[in-house]
Amino acid sequence: MTSPPSSVLIVGSMALDSVRTPAGEVKDALGGSADYSGVAASFFAPVRLVGVVGDDFPRAHLDFLASRHIDITGVQIVPGGKTFRWAGYYDFDLNIAHTLDTQLNVFADFAPTLPEGAKQSPYVFLANIDPELQMQVLTQMETPKLVVMDTMNFWIDGKPDALRDVLKHVDIAFMNDAEARQLTGKLSVVKAAKALQALGPKTVIIKKGEHGALLFHKDEHFAAPSYPLEDIADPTGAGDSFAGGFIGYVAACDDVSLSTLRKAVVYGSVMASYNVEDFSLNRLRTLTKDDIAARYRAFKQIAYFEALDEAAA
Ligand code: AMP
């Protein structure tokens, strides 16, 4: 079996999350970087997931992924194994996730093996996961058109050298502003983005939570605003759904020009803004393509401004 054109291969965590926010809490809810990004990307392009769960992972979650036409043949289910678990909370600053507990469980011994067709996937998203696993996936790929990666403080602290190795081999890196500063030691986000570009990726996207996202592409910049939501239930998965929307849109266009990347940043922002409206992946379950189009238009309106009034300048 070969890969469908413009398909996206995603490797990342598949999790059961326990999360508390000022709006409420959930226990052992569907989460994980691969699940959020895979579902977000599935609104745009065919998706294959590679990951691992234990046999405590509810069948209903796998059925939900399959209902989004996500190919889950690359998901290993370990008999007697326990699924990766993350527990965290957010205070009133919803940009800061406080981790209470990370249990790698089945991820501790996971060695991803790509199914035959997956190796030819043109678009690859190495979602937040152990950078050594990201590298193992990358070395199995044949000739991907675009490789995108994400990470988090847990791996910047724990495996910085492995992470730098992955950065050497990717086209686009996502990081939030705090992570970019932490990895590069630069206080300025602009300097941090440039330092990341010097490590390998020619494009760097800095996510600034409720303050939008910045794209650094070679010497060019683009800034996307965030959507002014009145109520945020749970910021978990905002970064992953952003990345999923981004790579899904790029894959659907099968084009990596700057103009497509700028639109992809807006689609990523649209997906993240919907995702945070409810806990876990719940908002993505009911989301429609019309909803996505409506919010894309709203973003365009928010970011619009007139050209310089030469007479007044
Ligand atoms: P974010 O998009 O950054 O909010 O990512 C949230 C997701 O990251 C949660 O659903 C967690 O299950 C997952 N996660 C948390 N810690 C880790 C980790 N160390 N490695 C991989 N995934 C993680």
In DSSP notation, the chain reads -PPPTT-EEEE---EEEEEEETTEEEEEEEE-HHHHHHHHHTTTS-EEEEEEEETTS-HHHHHHHHHTTEEEEEEEEETT---EEEEEE--S-TT-PEEEEEE-GGGGG------GGGGG-SEEEE-SS-HHHHHHHHHH-SS-SEEEE---HHHHHH-HHHHHHHHHT-SEEEEEHHHHHHHH--SSHHHHHHHHHHHS-SEEEEE-GGG-EEEEETTEEEEE-----S--S--TTHHHHHHHHHHHHHHHHT---HHHHHHHHHHHHHHHHHHTTSSTTHHHHH--HHHHHHHHHHHHHHH--PPP-TTT-
Query: What pLDDT, on a 0 to 100 scale, did the predictor assign at position 313?
Result: 80
Q: What is the pTM of this model?
A: 0.96
Query: What pLDDT, on a 0 to 100 scale, did the predictor assign at position 4?
Result: 57
Query: What pLDDT, on a 0 to 100 scale, did the predictor assign at position 1?
Result: 43
Q: For residue 15, which atom of ligand 1 is closest to its CA?
A: 12
- What residue's CA is closest to ligand 1, atom 9? 32
- What residue's CA is closest to ligand 1, atom 19? 154
Instruction: Measure 223 CA to ligand 1 centroid, in angstroms.
Output: 25
Ligand 1 proximity of 31 Cβ (cutoff 6 Å): yes
Instruction: Measure 313 CA to ligand 1 centroid, in angstroms.
Output: 47
Ligand 1 proximity of 83 Cβ (cutoff 6 Å): no
Contacts of 65 (CB under 8 A, 6+ apart): 35, 38, 39, 49, 72
Ligand 1 proximity of 239 Cβ (cutoff 6 Å): yes
Instruction: Measure 153 CA to ligand 1 centroid, in angstroms.
Output: 10
Which regions of the chain are under pLDDT 70?
1-5
Tokens of 249: 């849109």
Ligand 1 proximity of 32 Cβ (cutoff 6 Å): yes
Q: For residue 130, which atom of ligand 1 is closest to its CA?
A: 20
Ligand 1 proximity of 238 Cβ (cutoff 6 Å): yes
